[in-house]
Amino acid sequence: MRRDRGPKGLWQYKDQWIGVEAGRSGFYRYWYDDGSGRVKRKALAAVDLEAAKEELVDILGAPAPSSRDPREVYLFAVLKHYQDHYAEPKGYKQMAAVRRASELVYTAFQSFMGAPRVSDLTRLNQRRVWAHMAAENGLSAKSIMTYMIAVRAAVHYASVPQLITIADEQVETQLLDAPVTVFCNQAEIAEHIGGEMSKPREYIPTFAELGKWIDAIEEDADFRFVMIMLNTCARNEAIFDLRLSKQRNTEFGTLDLNPVGRRQTKKRRPVIRVTTNLAAWFDHWKDDKPVGQYQDTVEKRLNKLGKPTLDDEGEVTDIGLGMPEMTCYTLRHFMATNMRRASFPVSREQRSKWLGHKVSEGSTTTDWYEKFDPDYLEEPMRATEEIIAKLQKFTKRNLFAPTTQADGKVRVIDGGKV
């Protein structure tokens, strides 16, 4: 057996080390081959030692740190951990976004330092990363914010114990003892790079336009997504995460849009009241996971629906439904806007809770008890039923499951308001 004689060469990483050869330029990586019992070498492309170190790290992969201290854990180990065990199961769109964020951040750090550790995400360094993304990649403040949000999510994910599957066995892993602050404020980013803030979507379809759009849907998974969105105003990802066996409370008629174990973020996922319409669709579909297809697959089809068709020259060959601004996320804006126009008042606080916006009033304890109150979020639930009943008049497709009627009536909950 080979005896370990301590550090080798100019720099050692894992079981390999960097060195030079007399009479030859450049750097080599060396390792001991147990099969032949000899030391082997291979030339590195790097022309200086620091670059050679980074190249060796890239070849052998990020290290398994001896501790969870952010000063020792490589940032790209954290991003890869998040990509492999969280983003990839979500589908190609999520995985591609994290991978792109990793590439952009890595290139930016390369412009002023070597491979970063998590502790290198200082406020100053993050500003340098923003500036590099804006100057070299032409990214807007909103795009930079989106990629930094992916970095922040990865850091938080790595700081919480996760169960991952290795060789068909679940293993608990945690890369970081604690997260570091990742700044994702679009206004701050825009001010630093000299860019502009993105403007909120202003397009809200009419009932007639939305009815025409719904009638054009062909895939069942797409229609299911639309019905859940109309009935819940949930954000896209919450709908694809939905597992009824774990999130639906049939006794109290509620739906928890935040899965067990998921940390609440700025985009809160509330507990809402299940409408009569949605309850009937759940019973009709008989699926624990109502939307089974990948998020990016469904979103791609719905976002394309109604938009004009272009030829190879960029010329319009078919105007489609004449709704170029329509996306699947527009449904949330449509419902939120029309909820304010309902025939009976829906308070701002009730709308905010239904949409998952932060409500400063009340306490955590009060919120918990409210969820079991028959009147909990009754107003937005009734408004939602009214909006869908009105929308039914503008679409040929049945928006009500076979067990319900499109008569605009709302259910009465025992003990609730009449």
The pLDDT value recorded for residue 316 is 66
Write a three-state SS string for 378-404. Answer: HHHHHHHHHHHHHHHCCCCCCCCCCCC
The pLDDT value recorded for residue 189 is 95
The pLDDT value recorded for residue 311 is 64
The pLDDT value recorded for residue 374 is 52
The residue ranges of the chain whose pLDDT is under 50 are 1-7, 362-363, 365-366, 368-369, 406-418
Q: What is the pLDDT of residues 392-415, one digit of tens each?
A: 999 999 999 986 554 444 444 444
Q: How far apart are CA 71 and CA 116, in angstroms?
A: 9
Q: How far apart are CA 271 and CA 258, in angstroms?
A: 8
Tokens of 254: 């509620």
The pLDDT value recorded for residue 418 is 38
What is the chain's Cα-based Rg?
27
The pLDDT value recorded for residue 89 is 77
Q: How far apart are CA 157 and CA 110, in angstroms?
A: 24
The pLDDT value recorded for residue 152 is 94
Element containing residue 256 per DSSP (H, E): strand 254-256
Q: What is the pLDDT of residues 170-226, one digit of tens each?
A: 888 899 998 999 999 999 999 999 988 877 667 899 999 999 999 999 999 999 999
Name, in order, each residue with C-beta under 8 angstroms of 59's C-beta and a sequence gap of 6 or more. 29
